[in-house]
């Protein structure tokens, strides 16, 4: 970036336009720790940021999942919980909000996203069928595999290149999908699994043109198209910003149009929907809904609460309406970009363009001296915590796990450390602290040693794995 390049989104639009459309009414105090305390905490956690106690963390960028700040109206909604076992009025509020903003006909609440993934995978996948998708997500792929499915990545190649500036790096490569259908036959495809935005690719969006094309292809072959809508509101922002014909359309309209091309969706409401817990599954087909509604009572709870309290559903219904406001989403993504622009300015390698929910540090470029099996992204997360008490998340070889058949590690092209920004929680000064800390560890990157995994759980190993420093 040159000296004259506008830095903030506000400057790009001629004014500072991403400032928050809210003010702070209540605060949660944070504990500042010493380097010695952090050293102790990190070694007790086996160099895994998932195993740190949150009391030992200063700025928590582990995830944007369930870490949102709710509004006063959502908190007021929590007092209106109808905790009836069956037919809670809050369920009907949720159903109404989902029909209005996402447009699906039938709704099954679940305790969180993976509860919904479990149900749709069990119902829609027959053992041995393929599930093509735009890059894997850990829990999504695991549920598809547990149901007997075989996940196939059909995302565009740009998604695997951290430096590609393609505006829609989340798109499915329709050619790859067609080739799979041709090779295996349409009957062998359980459904197309489309996520907007794509988490593991760096929060990268899918274009409206792409979903339209997918709809046409799926119709041609009578294949279902299901959406992971977890960060679909953020995806709508990128369509508004980058796709011709959408600049003047409200976010709410873009969201509904996009969902309209799909047969149903699952959701981790802990992200876009601005709550601390919750999820849902929504479909347009009555027969499928009947099956899902039946299965939810086995694993989650009755079909009008799905593992949630009435108050949680009320907060979600209100959060859904708040989440589609243009000013909200502009400031949410504006804050993520502010951090991204500082880091880019300082020459720090990050996934470009900056996505919706996080900055992804390119750990391979950060630590070129480390082999992938020395866990560069896990190392980076550990160094950042040691420097300043900032907690981030590994999204590289540890997260990718092993091939179920061969038992070998997957070696993903992207070896990333995610700085995930919770919604409506941290200030611009916090973002400055984060940028400065990343810069500090970048400046001493040459002397950093990697890690060795010394404990590896069977499922989703990154959550509980333990590491130690190499050559220690």
Q: Please tell me whether residue 270 binds ligand P61 under the rule CB under 6 A.
A: yes
- For β-strands 358-362 and 416-420, DSSP reports them as antiparallel
Instruction: Rule CB under 6 A: choose which of 8, 33, 68, 112 binds ligand P61.
Output: 112
Residue appearing with tokens 């294949």: 223
Instruction: Rule CB under 6 A: choose which of 98, 142, 192, 195 binds ligand P61.
Output: 195
Instruction: Rule CB under 6 A: choose which of 63, 71, 207, 372 binds ligand P61.
Output: 63
Crossing angle of helices 251-260 and 232-242, rounded to 10°: 110
Separate counts of helices (H) and strands (E) for the chain: 17, 14
Q: How far apart are CB 7 and ligand P61 at their closest, in Å? A: 27
Q: How far apart are CB 389 and ligand P61 at their closest, in Å? A: 19
How far apart (Å, rounded) are the C-alpha atoms in residues 91 and 50? 32
Q: How far apart are CB 98 and ligand P61 at their closest, in Å? A: 16
User: Which residue among 271, 330, 337, 423 is the active-site one?
Assistant: 271
- DSSP class of residue 204? B
Q: Please tell me whether residue 68 binds ligand P61 under the rule CB under 6 A.
A: no
Q: Which string of DSSP letters, residue by residue, matches 72-102?
A: HHHHHHHTT----SSS-HHHHHHHHHHHHHT
Q: Which residue is nearest to ligand P61 (CB)?
A: 113
Q: How far apart are CB 162 and ligand P61 at their closest, in Å? A: 18
**Three-class SS of residue 132?**
strand
Stretch that binds ligand P61, among 37-45, 107-115, 305-313, 409-417 (CB under 6 A): 107-115
Stretch that binds ligand P61, among 110-118, 146-154, 181-189, 372-380 (CB under 6 A): 110-118
Q: Is 197 a catalytic residue?
A: no
Q: Is 442 a catalytic residue?
A: no
Q: Between 13 and 455, whose beta carbon lies closer to ligand P61? A: 455
How far apart (Å, rounded) are the C-alpha atoms in residues 423 and 271? 8
Which residues within the stretch 199-238 sit at the binding site for ligand P61 (CB under 6 A)?
199, 228, 230
User: Which residue among 173, 228, 263, 272 is the active-site one?
Assistant: 228
How far apart (Å, rounded) are the C-alpha atoms in residues 154 and 328? 32
Q: Please tell me whether residue 137 binds ligand P61 under the rule CB under 6 A.
A: yes
Q: Is 413 a catalytic residue?
A: no
Query: 80: burial class by Cβ within 10 Å (0-12, 13-18, 19+)?
Result: middle
Q: How far apart are CB 326 and ligand P61 at their closest, in Å? A: 23
**What are the residues whose beta carbons fall under 8 Å from the beta carbon of 371, sequence distance 6 or more?**
450
Q: Between 254 and 308, whose beta carbon lies closer to ligand P61? A: 308
Q: Which string of DSSP letters, residue by residue, matches 226-254?
A: EEE-TTHHHHHHHHHHHSTT-TTS-HHHH
How far apart (Å, rounded) are the C-alpha atoms in residues 441 and 383? 7
Q: Is 231 a catalytic residue?
A: no
How far apart (Å, rounded) are the C-alpha atoms in residues 207 and 237? 11
| Alpha carbon separation from 85 to 109, 303, 314, 472 (Å, rounded) | 13, 10, 15, 55
| Alpha carbon separation from 290 to 71, 115, 119, 120, 363 (Å, rounded) | 34, 17, 12, 12, 46
DSSP-assigned beta bridge partners for residue 267: 280
Q: Between 137 and 375, whose beta carbon lies closer to ligand P61? A: 137
Q: Please tell me whether residue 88 binds ligand P61 under the rule CB under 6 A.
A: no
For 340, the token pair is: 């991204």
Q: Is 263 a catalytic residue?
A: no
Which residues within the stretch 17-56 sit at the binding site for ligand P61 (CB under 6 A)?
none
User: Which residue among 102, 261, 442, 462 is the active-site one?
Assistant: 462
Instruction: Rule CB under 6 A: choose which of 138, 210, 235, 437 binds ligand P61.
Output: 138
Q: Is 50 a catalytic residue?
A: no
User: Which residue among 33, 63, 110, 138 is the active-site one?
Assistant: 138
Residue appearing with tokens 């560890």: 441
Q: What are phi and psi of 468, to 5 degrees?
A: -135, 160
User: Which residue among 106, 137, 226, 258 is the active-site one?
Assistant: 137
Write 300-304 long-range contacts (CB < 8 A, 24+): 300/109, 300/110, 300/111, 300/115, 300/119, 301/111, 302/85, 302/86, 303/108, 303/109, 304/86, 304/87, 304/88, 304/91, 304/109
Instruction: Rule CB under 6 A: choose which of 139, 164, 188, 276 binds ligand P61.
Output: 139
Q: Between 104 and 137, whose beta carbon lies closer to ligand P61? A: 137
Size of the site for ligand P61 (CB under 6 A): 17
Stretch that binds ligand P61, among 28-36, 111-119, 162-170, 364-372 (CB under 6 A): 111-119
Q: How far apart are CB 416 and ligand P61 at their closest, in Å? A: 12
Q: Is 432 a catalytic residue?
A: no
Q: Between 81 and 307, whose beta carbon lies closer to ligand P61? A: 307
Stretch that binds ligand P61, among 1-9, 80-88, 133-141, 329-337 (CB under 6 A): 133-141
Instruction: Rule CB under 6 A: choose which of 113, 203, 353, 355 binds ligand P61.
Output: 113
Catalytic residues, which ones?
85, 137-138, 228, 271, 395, 462
- Interface ranges with ligand P61 (CB under 6 A): 63, 65, 112-114, 137-140, 195, 199, 228, 230, 268, 270, 279, 393
């Amino acid at each position: 970036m040159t000296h004259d390049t506008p830095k903030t989104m506000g400057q790009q639009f001629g004014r500072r336009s991403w400032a928050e459309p809210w003010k702070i009414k209540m605060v949660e105090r944070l504990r500042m720790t010493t380097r010695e305390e952090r050293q102790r905490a990190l070694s007790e956690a086996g160099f895994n940021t998932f195993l740190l106690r949150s009391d030992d963390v200063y700025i928590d960028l582990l995830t944007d999942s369930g870490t949102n700040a709710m509004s006063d109206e959502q908190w007021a909604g929590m007092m209106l919980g109808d905790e009836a076992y069956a037919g809670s009025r809050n369920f009907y509020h949720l159903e109404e909000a989902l029909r209005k903003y996402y447009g699906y006909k039938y709704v099954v609440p679940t305790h969180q996203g993976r509860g919904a993934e479990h149900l749709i995978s069990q119902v829609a996948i027959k053992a041995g069928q393929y599930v093509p998708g735009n890059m894997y997500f850990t829990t999504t792929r695991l549920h598809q595999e547990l149901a007997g499915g075989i996940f196939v990545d059909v995302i565009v190649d740009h998604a695997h290149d951290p430096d590609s500036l393609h505006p829609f790096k989340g798109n499915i490569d329709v050619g790859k999908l067609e080739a799979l259908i041709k090779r295996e036959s349409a009957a062998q495809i359980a459904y197309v699994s489309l996520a907007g935005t794509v988490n593991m690719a760096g929060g990268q969006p899918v274009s409206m043109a792409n979903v339209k094309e997918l709809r046409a292809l799926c119709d041609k072959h009578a294949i279902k198209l299901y959406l992971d809508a977890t960060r679909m509101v953020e995806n709508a922002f990128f369509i508004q910003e980058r796709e011709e014909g959408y600049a003047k359309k409200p976010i709410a309209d873009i969201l509904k149009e996009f969902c309209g091309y799909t047969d149903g969706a699952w959701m981790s409401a802990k992200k876009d929907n601005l709550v601390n817990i919750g999820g849902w599954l929504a479909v347009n087909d009555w027969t499928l809904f009947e099956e899902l509604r039946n299965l939810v009572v086995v694993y989650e709870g009755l079909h009008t609460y799905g593992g949630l309290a009435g108050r949680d559903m009320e907060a979600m219904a209100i959060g859904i309406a708040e989440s589609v406001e243009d000013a909200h989403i502009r400031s949410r993504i504006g804050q993520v970009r502010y951090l991204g622009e500082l880091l880019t300015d300082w020459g720090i390698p990050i996934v470009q363009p900056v996505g919706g929910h996080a900055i992804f540090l390119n750990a391979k470029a950060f630590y070129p001296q480390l082999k992938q099996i020395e866990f560069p992204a896990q190392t980076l997360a550990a160094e950042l915590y040691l420097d300043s008490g900032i907690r981030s998340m590994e999204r590289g070889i540890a997260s990718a796990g092993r091939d179920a058949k061969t038992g070998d590690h997957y070696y993903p092209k992207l070896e990333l450390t995610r700085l995930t920004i919770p919604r409506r929680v941290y200030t611009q000064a916090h973002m400055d602290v984060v940028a400065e800390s990343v810069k500090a560890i970048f400046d001493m990157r040459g002397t950093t040693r990697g890690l060795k995994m010394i404990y590896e759980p069977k499922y989703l190993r990154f959550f509980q794995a333990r590491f130690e420093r190499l050559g220690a």
